[in-house]
Protein backbone atom coordinates (compact mmCIF):
# COMPACT_ATOMS: atom_id res chain seq x y z
CA UNK A 1 0.00 0.00 0.00
CA UNK A 2 1.26 3.45 -0.86
CA UNK A 3 0.54 6.65 1.03
CA UNK A 4 1.90 8.75 -1.82
CA UNK A 5 0.06 11.94 -2.72
CA UNK A 6 0.98 11.41 -6.37
CA UNK A 7 -1.94 10.27 -8.49
CA UNK A 8 -2.17 9.89 -12.24
CA UNK A 9 -4.54 12.81 -12.60
CA UNK A 10 -1.62 15.07 -11.61
CA UNK A 11 0.15 14.06 -14.80
CA UNK A 12 0.10 16.80 -17.45
CA UNK A 13 1.41 14.64 -20.29
CA UNK A 14 4.62 16.70 -20.47
CA UNK A 15 7.31 14.24 -19.40
CA UNK A 16 9.93 16.72 -18.16
CA UNK A 17 7.41 18.55 -15.97
CA UNK A 18 5.67 15.39 -14.76
CA UNK A 19 8.93 13.83 -13.56
CA UNK A 20 9.81 16.97 -11.61
CA UNK A 21 6.31 17.29 -10.15
CA UNK A 22 6.40 13.66 -9.02
CA UNK A 23 9.69 14.17 -7.21
CA UNK A 24 8.43 17.43 -5.68
CA UNK A 25 5.33 15.66 -4.33
CA UNK A 26 7.44 12.76 -3.04
CA UNK A 27 9.75 15.12 -1.15
CA UNK A 28 6.78 16.87 0.44
CA UNK A 29 5.31 13.48 1.38
CA UNK A 30 8.63 12.65 3.03
CA UNK A 31 8.39 15.85 5.07
CA UNK A 32 4.84 15.06 6.21
CA UNK A 33 5.77 11.47 7.11
CA UNK A 34 8.83 12.68 9.03
CA UNK A 35 6.69 15.14 10.99
CA UNK A 36 4.10 12.42 11.72
CA UNK A 37 6.86 10.17 13.03
CA UNK A 38 8.33 12.99 15.13
CA UNK A 39 11.72 12.71 13.44
CA UNK A 40 14.42 15.10 14.72
CA UNK A 41 13.95 18.66 13.44
CA UNK A 42 17.41 18.73 11.83
CA UNK A 43 16.50 15.69 9.75
CA UNK A 44 13.23 17.24 8.54
CA UNK A 45 14.96 20.56 7.82
CA UNK A 46 17.45 18.70 5.66
CA UNK A 47 14.60 17.27 3.55
CA UNK A 48 13.02 20.72 3.38
CA UNK A 49 16.28 22.26 2.17
CA UNK A 50 16.30 19.72 -0.64
CA UNK A 51 12.65 20.52 -1.40
CA UNK A 52 13.38 24.27 -1.50
CA UNK A 53 16.36 23.81 -3.80
CA UNK A 54 14.49 21.41 -6.04
CA UNK A 55 11.32 23.51 -6.13
CA UNK A 56 13.29 26.62 -7.02
CA UNK A 57 15.05 24.84 -9.89
CA UNK A 58 11.79 23.31 -11.11
CA UNK A 59 9.90 26.62 -11.02
CA UNK A 60 12.70 28.36 -12.94
CA UNK A 61 12.63 25.62 -15.58
CA UNK A 62 8.85 25.92 -15.90
CA UNK A 63 9.08 29.70 -16.11
CA UNK A 64 11.75 29.52 -18.82
CA UNK A 65 9.47 27.29 -20.90
CA UNK A 66 6.63 29.79 -20.41
CA UNK A 67 8.79 32.68 -21.59
CA UNK A 68 9.92 30.74 -24.65
CA UNK A 69 6.26 30.07 -25.47
CA UNK A 70 5.25 33.68 -24.89
CA UNK A 71 2.74 32.43 -22.34
CA UNK A 72 0.15 35.17 -21.67
CA UNK A 73 -0.49 34.11 -18.03
CA UNK A 74 3.20 34.13 -17.15
CA UNK A 75 3.08 36.86 -14.47
CA UNK A 76 0.21 35.29 -12.52
CA UNK A 77 1.89 31.90 -12.67
CA UNK A 78 5.19 33.28 -11.38
CA UNK A 79 3.37 35.08 -8.56
CA UNK A 80 1.92 31.76 -7.38
CA UNK A 81 5.30 30.07 -7.67
CA UNK A 82 6.78 32.80 -5.47
CA UNK A 83 4.05 32.32 -2.87
CA UNK A 84 4.48 28.55 -2.87
CA UNK A 85 8.22 28.83 -2.43
CA UNK A 86 7.75 31.34 0.40
CA UNK A 87 5.41 28.85 2.09
CA UNK A 88 8.01 26.06 1.88
CA UNK A 89 10.48 28.44 3.54
CA UNK A 90 7.89 29.25 6.23
CA UNK A 91 7.56 25.51 6.85
CA UNK A 92 11.34 25.11 7.03
CA UNK A 93 11.53 27.92 9.60
CA UNK A 94 8.66 26.47 11.67
CA UNK A 95 10.32 23.05 11.76
CA UNK A 96 13.73 24.55 12.57
CA UNK A 97 12.12 26.56 15.39
CA UNK A 98 10.52 23.44 16.88
CA UNK A 99 6.97 24.70 16.31
CA UNK A 100 5.29 21.33 15.74
CA UNK A 101 1.68 22.54 15.54
CA UNK A 102 2.49 25.17 12.92
CA UNK A 103 4.73 22.74 11.04
CA UNK A 104 1.99 20.14 10.69
CA UNK A 105 -0.61 22.71 9.69
CA UNK A 106 1.62 24.40 7.11
CA UNK A 107 2.78 21.06 5.68
CA UNK A 108 -0.81 19.87 5.17
CA UNK A 109 -1.83 23.18 3.60
CA UNK A 110 1.21 23.19 1.36
CA UNK A 111 0.51 19.68 0.08
CA UNK A 112 -3.03 20.66 -0.91
CA UNK A 113 -1.86 23.97 -2.35
CA UNK A 114 0.90 22.39 -4.45
CA UNK A 115 -1.36 19.74 -5.99
CA UNK A 116 -4.05 22.38 -6.60
CA UNK A 117 -1.43 24.44 -8.46
CA UNK A 118 -0.54 21.42 -10.60
CA UNK A 119 -4.18 20.62 -11.37
CA UNK A 120 -4.98 24.27 -12.02
CA UNK A 121 -2.31 26.67 -13.26
CA UNK A 122 0.07 23.99 -14.54
CA UNK A 123 -2.75 22.19 -16.35
CA UNK A 124 -3.79 25.48 -17.96
CA UNK A 125 -0.22 25.98 -19.17
CA UNK A 126 0.04 22.40 -20.51
CA UNK A 127 -3.25 22.89 -22.39
CA UNK A 128 -1.93 26.16 -23.84
CA UNK A 129 1.28 24.49 -25.07
CA UNK A 130 -0.70 21.63 -26.62
CA UNK A 131 -2.61 24.01 -28.91
CA UNK A 132 -1.76 23.80 -32.61
CA UNK A 133 0.68 26.50 -33.63
CA UNK A 134 2.10 27.16 -30.15
CA UNK A 135 5.82 26.57 -30.49
CA UNK A 136 8.83 27.81 -28.53
CA UNK A 137 10.55 30.97 -29.75
CA UNK A 138 13.91 29.20 -30.10
Instruction: Give the span between the Cα atoms of 50 and 10, in whole angstroms.
Output: 22
Query: Whole-number minimum distance, CB 1 to Fe ion, in Å?
Result: 29
Stretch of residues binding Fe ion (CB under 5 A), selected from 34-42, 47-55, 88-96, 117-125: 117-125
Cα 70 to Cα 47: distance, rounded to the nearest angstrom = 34
Sign of CA dihedral 22, 118, 91, 82: positive
**Beta carbons of 59 and 44 less than 8 angstroms apart:** no
Long-range contacts of 2-6 (CB under 8 A, 24+ apart): 3/29, 3/33, 4/29, 5/29, 5/111, 5/115
Cβ proximity to Fe ion: between 53 and 100 the closer is: 53
Question: Residue 97 or 120: which CB sits closer to Fe ion?
Answer: 120
- Shortest-Cβ-distance residue relative to Fe ion: 122
Nearer to Fe ion, 18 or 62 (CB): 62
**Residue count at the site for Fe ion (CB under 5 A)?**
2
Sole binder of Fe ion in the list 27, 71, 122, 129 (CB under 5 A):
122
Give the separation between CA 25 and CA 7, rounded to whole angstroms: 10
Sketch the per residue contact string, 46 through 85, with Fe ion: x for CB under 5 A, - otherwise: ----------------x-----------------------
Q: Which of 16, 46, 18 lies closest to 30 in space, CA to CA? A: 46
20 touches Fe ion (CB under 5 A): no
Q: Which is nearer to Fe ion, 76 or 105 (CB)?
A: 76
Q: Which residues bind Fe ion (CB under 5 A)?
A: 62, 122
Amino acid sequence: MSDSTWTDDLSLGVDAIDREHHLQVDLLDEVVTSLDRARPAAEVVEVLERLIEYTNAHFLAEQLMMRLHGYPLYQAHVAEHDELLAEVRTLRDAVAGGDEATSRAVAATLRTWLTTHMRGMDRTYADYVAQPGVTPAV
